[in-house]
Amino acid sequence: MPEPAQRLRIGALIALVVGSMIGGGIFSLPQNMAERADAGAIMIGWTITAVGMLNLAFVFQVLANRKPELNSGVYAYAKAGFGDYMGFSSAWGYWISAWLGNVGYFVLLFSTLGYFFPVFGEGNTPIAIAASSALLWAVHFLVSRGIKEAAFINLVTTIAKVVPLLIFIVIAAIAFSMDIFTRDIWGYENPDFGSVMNQVRNMMLVTVFVFIGIEGASVYSARAQKRSDVGRATVIGFLGVLALLVLVNVLSLGVMTQPELAGLQNPSLASVLEHIVGPWGALLISLGLIVSLLGALLSWALLCAEILFATAQDNTMPAFLKKQNANQVPINALWMTNVMIQLFLLITLFSAGTYTSLIYLASSMILVPYLWSAAYAFLLSWRGETYKAKSKERIKDLCISSIALIYAVWLLYAGGVKYLLLSALLYAPGVVLFAIAKREQRAALFTPIETAVFVLVVVGAGFAAYGLETGILTM
């Protein structure tokens, strides 16, 4: 357990939630949404997202209070409810989602800097990759100095990056035009959109990506000063970020038309503010994005290392990931994470459209961990475990977990078969680490049910590999 000096107060936990969710996604939200739907469908989509994600936030709050002995959130809940392999897969998928998102953040960061320094291009030029690599190892050094110190810097950057967003909201609210907002509210003038329900479905992976990090406080539950702060930080952080996201998206739709927004370059929020106030608006948002991405890189470096360390602590991951340095930082987990980020940064030298591909793949990888968490909360309330007989709280939690579970299944459907298969391709290799951990314990690799699940994963991975080879599937 961490020493008292390394324990996190509620402010730091809220900053971890907010800092993890507010990365680059909100700054590209106007274009990303307008490309897939018009105002009416977007409003419906945000309503579904608000209900679903709020109940998912409540799920993490319920589980933090009902199962205080389970640390590290998404991983621990999957393992407790559905066995070792599902717990491992949840941690593995979460970890991959986290560092894939960081690779995308590096690309977007230096693409934004390319606005000021053309040598960085679209974020994947040799100079941009060299600069990204230098920043990556600077973050590595900072995190290795201590969790609490890094969390404090994350708190400062979280405050700094929210300020430009609040300025945008005030200015956009003044410039908002209802005529622009309602011009083609259901997207009938764009035949590529299809029905309203298709529009809602197509925007769903975008909403998932901007909310990844909602579980940030629960991942750090073992380091919280008060256990009750974990659930409170999750809900407070979620509500604050939800308000920012909806206001940024909806107000943009009343400033520029859907076709105009869809045609913007990212970060599109800069272009929207420039449209209202001139070049200084683009400069303000670009600077805000740079601060935001730096903070998000730090938040996710912390989360990546913590999830590997936590799974190694109870022998679901190999023992070498348990190692901590003198500052109580899981150093081997940090090295493993950053080596993978470095490798994929080098790959971006030869890959086009990297940022968009990475954020959607990162989103799809985290859908399964969210599903297991909601399902475990549902099982607890259904069985009445930890509840008194005929408890009203049990009925409330059963409703919450049911809505969260339905939402998680809906997200898998909305993501589509393509990303489900690509996720399987990344889930399958994780069995190597799982096998090493089982061998260290001299335990059987799989139970019969886990064997069946693994076979399904391998079959999905095979289809994905075939699809990529033949061009049926693309990144």
In a domain, 422, yes or no: no
The pair of three-digit structure tokens given for residue 331, joined into one six-digit string? 């150093």
For residue range 22-78, list pLDDT tens digits in order.
777 788 889 989 988 999 999 999 999 889 888 988 888 788 778 877 766 677 888
Residue 370, pLDDT > 90, answer: no
Which CATH number belongs to the domain containing residue 354 in this structure?
A: 1.20.1740.10
pLDDT recorded at residue 168: 93
Distances (CA, A) of 33 to 110, 189, 438: 23, 16, 44
Give the list of residues 6+ apart from residue 180 with CB closer than 8 angstroms, or none. Answer: 253, 254, 255, 256, 257
Amino acid in position 320 = F
**Residues 6+ positions from 411 with CB-CB distance below 8 Å:** 52, 204, 205, 208, 367, 370
51: tokens are 């209900």
426 belongs to a structural domain: no
- Tens-digit pLDDT profile for residues 436-466: 999 999 999 999 999 999 999 999 999 999 9
What is the residue type of 42?
Answer: I
Q: State the pLDDT at residue 219.
A: 60
Give the pLDDT of residue 414: 78
Report if residue 232 sits inside a domain: yes
- Residue 58's nearest CA partner among 373, 310, 412 is 373
The reply to whether 451 falls in a domain is no
pLDDT at 1: 44
Q: At residue 157, does pLDDT exceed 80? A: no
Which tokens go with 341?
């980020």
pLDDT category of residue 254 using cuts at 50, 70 and 90: very high
Q: What is the pLDDT confidence band of residue 5, given thresholds at 50, 70 and 90?
A: very low
Q: Where are the alpha helices (DSSP H) in 390-441?
A: 392-427, 431-441
Residue 149 pLDDT > 60, yes or no?
no
pLDDT at 461: 92
Is the pLDDT assigned to residue 176 strictly greater than 90? Answer: yes
- Whether 457 maps to a domain, the answer reads no
Q: 331 is in which domain, residue-wise? A: 4-416
pTM of full prediction above 0.85:
no
| CA 397 from centroid of its chain's CA atoms | 24
Asked whether the beta carbons of 2 and 223 are under 8 A apart, the reply is yes
Domain count, the chain: 1
- Mean pLDDT in residue range 195-201: 88
Question: pLDDT value at position 4?
Answer: 45
329 within some domain: yes
The pLDDT of residue 2 is above 60: no
Domain-located, residue 38: yes
| Rg, Å, the chain Cα set | 22
| Domain annotation covers residue 99 | yes
182: pLDDT strictly greater than 70 = yes
Task: Write out the two tokens for 397.
Answer: 């939690």
Check pLDDT > 80 for residue 9.
no
**Residue 454 CA: distances (Å) to CA of 90, 96, 214, 445:** 13, 18, 28, 11
